[in-house]
Amino acid sequence: MRGSDMFDPYRGLNDLWARYADACPTPEPSADFMPGVWRKIEAKRGFLFMLQAYSRRMVATAAAFSLLVLVLHFAPAIPAGDVYMMTYMDTLEADSTPEVMAYAAPVPALDGAQEEPQ
């Protein structure tokens, strides 16, 4: 006997695989194989599995909502008080953008030398 034949560390594992192959025949592939597997899986899933999946979604939603509320709480607030306290005339007076000035009517120069209409 050689040394490697005396001690085979996989002998028990090989025997186990041989017994498994004898006990469980190889299934024949068919069109109903995967749907059958999913039917067996879904039959084992019960109410507690659905409750667990629902509770995981609810925990994730609550964590996201809590994070949103935290960010909104510590975000710097926009001082909107001045905007709502202005009157319409104050708003028009403050609006002096160049686009508005481009449509303004020309004002004649008052340098003292005005021409008289003829």
d(CA 64, CA 58): 10
Digit-coded pLDDT (tens) for 19-56? 998 898 887 778 888 898 888 888 888 888 889 999 99
Of the listed ranges 9-18, 52-61, 107-116, the one predicted with least confidence: 107-116
Sequence ranges of the domains in the chain: 12-96
Query: How does DSSP assign 23-68, residue by residue?
Result: HSPPPPP-TTHHHHHHHHHHHH--HHHHHHHHHHHHHHHHHHHHHH
Report residue 61's pLDDT band, with 50, 70 and 90 as the boundaries: very high
Report residue 1's pLDDT band, with 50, 70 and 90 as the boundaries: very low
For residue 10, what are the CA distances in angstroms to 2, 22, 29, 73?
16, 18, 30, 63
Of the listed ranges 11-20, 70-79, 93-102, the one predicted with least confidence: 93-102
